[in-house]
Amino acid sequence: MSERERLQNYIEGRFVAPVRGEYLPVYEPATGRPFAEVASSDRADVDAACIAAGRAARGWRETPVEKRAVILDAIANKLEAQIERFAGAESKDNGKPVSLARAVDIPRAVSNFRFFAGAVQHFASECHPTSADVLNYTLRAPLGVVGCISPWNLPLYLFTWKIAPALASGNCVVAKPSEITPVTATMFAELCGEAGLPPGVLNLVHGTGPDVGEVICTHPTTKAISFTGGTKTGARIASVAAPLFKKLSLELGGKNPVLVFDDCAFDEMLATTLRSSFSNQGEICLCGSRIFVQDAIYERFKTEFVARAKKLRVGDPLEPTTEQGALVSEQHHAKVRSYLDLARKEGGTVLCGGEVISPPGRCANGWFLSPVVIEGLPHNCRTSQEEIFGPVASLYRFKTEDEAVALANDTPYGLASVVWTRSLDRAHRVAASLHAGITWVNCWMVRDLRTPFGGVKQSGVGREGGWEALRFFTEPKNVCLKL
């Protein structure tokens, strides 16, 4: 074990071993083999990180906003100069195609920092002139120390999506990336130090949810928790952190509908729906897993969609031509596969996929699965209602717009949704009626970092992005001044 890379905690600008000296293995999903180990921390390490963050809080809060922005920009520039290195590391740790990490994950992490470096300089608070001699104005102060907890599916992308606005608005951060994919966050912490972020402003504590995440959520030092992950974990965090009156932003799971009307631009819809179903092996919270297709084009859609899904190249994530990499862990691979048996029991027909793939060479023991398309499921069965978070899409037929909207809305989730139609009236009508935080019309995952991002129902509470994030990470205070 000793020759393996050891990922340590990053506290007060230095890498430090976890107090109890324990480590967890980190696996390469494409080979199924451990390649590193990560600190398995506990309360003592969270305490140390919170003390460091608390010490740095005043200096960072009082750093002029332009200076903070310069440092955030420097971090973005340094990361941009190392896209290739970070993309390789992300792909190895998560199993995603390196081409995706290079085109999406790492550039997006750069944009997150660059965007909030700019946004914070335009962030302003309100002034309400109440009468000739009374002025009400709002101060927006940083919260102090905040906790940021992120998942494994878009490791650096979602990690930076949280810490960039937290830091930009003057907070110090105690962060925990997923223990399943801890590599790029660790590399990134080091890069932040090199770019001039003062010690203690960003601290990283590695380890499991119960041992580290929950301690961050209940620690008296943390004033807010920004969490992205599963709905069950979100509920657990709310149950322990809400009674302590912490600010909470919870970005949770989804079971996103795609509504395909018979007047859509078919070819563009088909190509995008393939991406929205299977990008990142379907391990994106925004992936569309329930595809509702209008009667008149159902058979054509089914035939062409299945044919395209079968052609997706599954294999070594490092190969430039690979379109589908490995699922993130053995456990997740087994979970996704278990839904195929369940789908059959629930009356579904698997039209393609579900084979465990064993690519020749170094990836023979990786956690690969060919993309799955299912039809014939009742819309209210478990396979249709539960988040699978893998390369699995189910097809459903509908006749009318009202029926499609009712079916789409009939889940406990409400994160993202997609509508394909050429009718302007229908696009607006359906977009307004879908119970989701985001509706894409005739596109998918086109992102503008200024827009509110988040879900309704069991997909979460609160919004990230733009002013929403900067408001979340600051406390408004009204000052009423009589002249």
Residues making contact with ligand NAD (CB under 6 A):
149-153, 158, 176, 178-179, 208-210, 213-214, 217, 228-230, 233, 236-237, 251-254, 285, 387, 389, 415, 455, 460
Minimum CB separation of residue 287 from ligand NAD in Å reads 9
Q: Say how far apart CA 373 and CA 444 lie, in whole Å.
A: 19
Of residues 211 and 316, the one with the C-beta less far from ligand NAD: 211
Minimum CB separation of residue 216 from ligand NAD in Å reads 7
Q: Say how far apart CA 68 and CA 65 lie, in whole Å.
A: 5
User: Residue 132 in 3-state DSSP?
Assistant: coil
The b-or-e profile of 381-410 (16+ CB within 10 A means b, else e) is: bebbbbbbbbbbbbbbbbeebeebbebbbe
Q: What is the DSSP string of 151-220?
A: -SSSHHHHHHHHHHHHHHTT-EEEEE--TTS-HHHHHHHHHHHHTTPPTTSEEE--S-IIIIIHHHHH-T
Q: Is residue 356 classed exposed, middle or buried when 0-12, 13-18 and 19+ CB atoms within 10 A define those classes?
A: exposed
Minimum CB separation of residue 254 from ligand NAD in Å reads 5
Of residues 38 and 264, the one with the C-beta less far from ligand NAD: 38
Of residues 143 and 217, the one with the C-beta less far from ligand NAD: 217
Of residues 24 and 377, the one with the C-beta less far from ligand NAD: 24
Catalytic residue among 214, 251, 323, 468: 251
Q: Are 250 and 462 in contact (CB under 8 A)?
A: yes
Q: Are 181 and 93 in contact (CB under 8 A)?
A: yes
- Strands (E) across 53-104 are located at none
Give bridge partners of residue 316 from the DSSP assignment.
Answer: none
Of residues 51 and 445, the one with the C-beta less far from ligand NAD: 445
For this structure, is 3 an active site residue? no
Active-site annotation, residues: 251
